Structure 1
């Protein structure tokens, strides 16, 4: 009887342990690609104001951060923002170190080969920024010839410049930066003649330094759209996020967040 009691006790404990392990495995296997569960890890460049950047308290903030937080709230999910090397963003997404790319990401045909996108939510132009005291010397694309021009590595402007070699070779030099903040600092200090940058980023930075910088209405390359990037196989996650983005557009939430960061509603209509 004693042996039977001990055997029965061992069986009970074994079943409890197995149940616990199964529960832990189920919890650990929760994926953002499933419906309505799991944490969403957002990959972003944390030096890309006003879309996503670190504030004076070292907290990640920005327009896209506010939109992603509201979307995750409506989905009933936790959201984590993970700073990544933006030049390696597609590898970060493919390796599942992040679930989405959500940080002023331009929708391009080349990128569509490796990821799926949400519907466009904002237009973006690449325009030219100069120092105010040099504004009269650069009034057209042709005026960039013979100049030292800066842009961000991995960005749409860089892709356009690299794909148009005759345009690139006409410049004295093209300097590529890991972030636009460093590029604008070099522009202010006279180490660059001009910057080709996202209009949104440039105008936000310029608003902080209005006495030094000027935005020229010189569009370089085609006008693009911002979208949220997903792994191609994460169709459920894309559908869920798109649904709440549509709701936020319809009820005016996106417009309010836009007004907070840009002073007006610049969302794609």
Structure 2
């Protein structure tokens, strides 16, 4: 009886062991759950028309918004637009609170030290806007005047490069956004405004006869999409998407919708 009991006990133990091994193997070979869709968080200044801004329904719209949506669709990623303090854009990017900066971001040598850029997709100038009644006709006329500029924008660097003009100003007044600066120009608290051409032209055409864009400007620059220096995979995907959009006419179509012609570089 003892011998039989021992055999039965051994058989039972073996069965339990095989059963446990079977469950382990089954768990190991079970198919993995499908990965969640990737997401790209894009940092932007939500008061920078026509590149990215809020419409009358408070929804984010703009040329760069449409470009980014099309690019994200092509690389199979969800896109989220996150308004940020544009003056702290590099900190937002390198702190990984956003994955890309896509909002009229000018490519400069200084920024290239901390940001990896796509090739340029748009050419822009830093123009000078005055009111129609202003006596200012040239950059030389800005001497002794109060000139507005958006803090953290490439316009700051563009004006600084023109040392003679910058030194002649009474004050270079910095604003959080161009909309507020333009309001101060209208009310006479500013004598002139230096701003990205894409934004300046957008506003001045809405109020014909109120403003004048001077012939002289503070130079030409290129816009690009910026990502973290170590995020080479995302950079490559965005570059491929942009190249395809330029080639098949999608970028031109979006540009025409916002600017009336294809200004994509």
TM-score, normalization by structure 2: 0.86
Aligned equivalent of 1:246, options 236, 243, 247: 243
**What secondary structure is seen at the aligned counterpart in 1 of 2:225?**
strand
CA RMSD of aligned residues (A): 2.5
**What secondary structure is seen at the aligned counterpart in 1 of 2:119?**
coil
Aligned to 2:44: 44
Written as runs of structure 1 = structure 2, the 5 A alignment for 1:69-80 is 69-80=69-80
CA deviations on 1:6-53 (whole Å, 9 max, x unpaired) are xx89xx79x98xx9xx96xx95xx7xxxxxx51011110000000001
Written as runs of structure 1 = structure 2, the 5 A alignment for 1:155-194 is 155-162=153-160, 164-194=162-192
Aligned equivalent of 1:151, options 149, 152, 162: 149
Aligned to 2:12: none
Alpha-carbon separation, structure 1, partners of 2:206 and 2:106 = 24
Alpha-carbon separation, structure 2, partners of 1:50 and 1:265 = 14
Alpha-carbon separation, structure 2, partners of 1:162 and 1:242 = 31
Answer yes or no: is 1:264 the counterpart of 2:261.
yes
2:101–2:225 CA contact under 8 A, matched in 1? yes
Q: CA deviation at 1:211?
A: 3.0
Q: CA deviation at 1:200?
A: 0.7
Alpha-carbon separation, structure 1, partners of 2:224 and 2:55 = 24
CA deviations on 1:98-147 (whole Å, 9 max, x unpaired) are 0000000000000000010000001010010010111xx22211111111
2:126–2:158 CA contact under 8 A, matched in 1? no
Q: CA deviation at 1:216?
A: 1.3
Aligned to 1:108: 108
**What secondary structure is seen at the aligned counterpart in 2 of 1:70?**
helix
**What secondary structure is seen at the aligned counterpart in 1 of 2:102?**
strand
Alpha-carbon separation, structure 2, partners of 1:169 and 1:249 = 41
CA deviations on 1:61-80 (whole Å, 9 max, x unpaired) are 10000000011111111100
Aligned to 2:127: 127
Higher Cα radius of gyration = 2
Note the residue ranges of structure 1 that are not aligned, 5 or more in a row.
31-36
Aligned to 2:55: 55
Q: CA deviation at 1:217?
A: 1.6
Alpha-carbon separation, structure 1, partners of 2:215 and 2:53 = 26
Alpha-carbon separation, structure 2, partners of 1:142 and 1:214 = 16
- How many residues are paired up? 248
2:139–2:165 CA contact under 8 A, matched in 1? no
Alpha-carbon separation, structure 2, partners of 1:57 and 1:125 = 30
Aligned to 1:142: 140
